[in-house]
A and B are shown apart, each in its own frame.
Chain A
């Protein structure tokens, strides 16, 4: 299967701990997105990369969140000092660099902060 993969699929952590999620996009896709989704809501944009450059970051994203895509392939999303409000599904998507191009989503990482 050459789709978008995410690891881990589930993460339970205690408040105050740091967590890191990984996303492996479809290999030829230059663009990579991170979203957060809570129950009953649509995906909320967090940030996106074109190759290794982080082009936009949501103003909603606090300084506790950071994302990297060091070699323009896989990406990591780190949340420092987790809070209960961070509990959500974190989705990664990738796409080709064409205007309006469809995004291919991974299965998501479900984070529970106790």
Chain B
């Protein structure tokens, strides 16, 4: 069955460092991969989209890579700040449907 794995344990990093979050998937060939941020008690907020034919996408301090051979996406936040503390979710979409499957999310805590 399709499976999406994100680090289940919380990631703690020091302010100013680069945070790297992983999203691994099996039994799936996504055409699109999205990253969302979710704060407690709120709905997810879209951050970045990367397509299967793209290796890398950047937006301000954010960078996403997509390796369809390794079946993995990496999400980087450079120069992290305490305000970046949140849960980050990856979501995979197939070209044949507009349904997205979400990972379990990784909780990031940036320490001042």
Contact = CB atoms under 8 A, between A and B. Distances in A.
A55 B95 CA distance: 14
Contacts of A101: 49
Contacts, number: 60
Interface residues of A, number: 26
30 contacts: A4-B43, A31-B98, A33-B100, A41-B105, A42-B4, A42-B6, A42-B104, A43-B89, A45-B99, A45-B100, A48-B98, A48-B99, A50-B98, A56-B98, A91-B44, A93-B43, A99-B31, A99-B95, A99-B98, A100-B32, A100-B34, A100-B51, A101-B49, A103-B34, A103-B44, A103-B46, A104-B46, A107-B42, A107-B43, A108-B43
Interface of B: 4, 6, 31-32, 34, 42-46, 49, 51, 89, 91, 93, 95, 97-105
